[in-house]
Amino acid sequence: MRLRVGRRAHADDSPADSASNNPAERAARTERARSEMVAGQLRRRGIRDERVLEAMATTPREQFVPNVPASLAYDDRALPIDAGQTISQPYMVGRMTELLRVKPGGRVLEIGTGSGYQAAVLARLGAKVTSIERLPDLAETARAALREVGIEGVDVRVGDGSVGEPEGAPWDGIVVTAAAPAVPDALREQLAEGARLVIPVGPRFQQDLVVVERRGPNDWQEWSDGAVVFVPLVGEAGWSD
């Protein structure tokens, strides 16, 4: 069984030097890498939503991993960001976004801003994103990255995302980029009818990517999309540390 890798705690991954100092060459190489990512990592593995593919084809992932060479930004793996965290591998970002079924104008809650890349992809789809990050420095870095690439419609807040954001509920979608020991009741309750929650659930070192769909006031259906590995969701409704 192959595990899909999400945001993992960073152990040791040192960036390499860029192969060229020519801006035009770097830009062309980065564009090729992005196109190859979409074709080889997303479309080939079954991502079918053309809107998701287009969003990821036009979102500069390299801008969200400033300490990693642009030549590595589109590798098929999680990459290090600040605070010992990582940005999820491209396929995982695409799959979670596809499962969420984002509609233009939809109000989406993201738990775990991280680098800001997942929020950027959601915003490219026309979603109005509220993103909760528990680490203030990481939240500020994500805000700066989103501004740098011209992404609007993302409100990054600092707080305990494990309990959601009641003041904005009900949400048209909730995506959690860290693993909870169980699906938090607060997140279930904050879903709008017809909306989905996508969240890794399980022990610290291996989880299931769980999809929860609210089909009525007291009716939630859930299923697993497969095995994954994510950094723990820390908070009141998550892990203690």
- If one counts the domains in the chain, the total is 1
Residue partners of 46: CB distance under 8 A and separation at least 6: none
Note if 240 is an active site residue: no
- Please report which residue ranges of 13-155 form alpha helices under DSSP H: 23-36, 50-57, 90-100, 117-124, 136-148
- Interstrand relation of 107-111 and 128-133 (parallel, antiparallel or unpaired): parallel
- Dump pLDDT digits (tens) for 164-187: 999 999 999 999 999 999 999 999
Q: Which amino acid is at 129?
A: V
Domain range for 185 is: 4-229
Please indicate, yes or no, if residue 237 is contained in any of the structural domains. Answer: no
Please indicate, yes or no, if residue 234 is contained in any of the structural domains. Answer: no
What token pair was written down for 201?
């659930």
- Dump pLDDT digits (tens) for 12-54: 344 434 445 688 887 888 899 999 999 999 999 999 999 999 9
Q: What is the CATH number of the domain that holds 19?
A: 3.40.50.150
Q: Which of 71, 88, 115, 162 is catalytic?
A: 88
Helices 117-124, 136-148: crossing angle, 10 deg rounding: 40
Please indicate, yes or no, if residue 239 is contained in any of the structural domains. Answer: no
What token pair was written down for 2?
């192959």
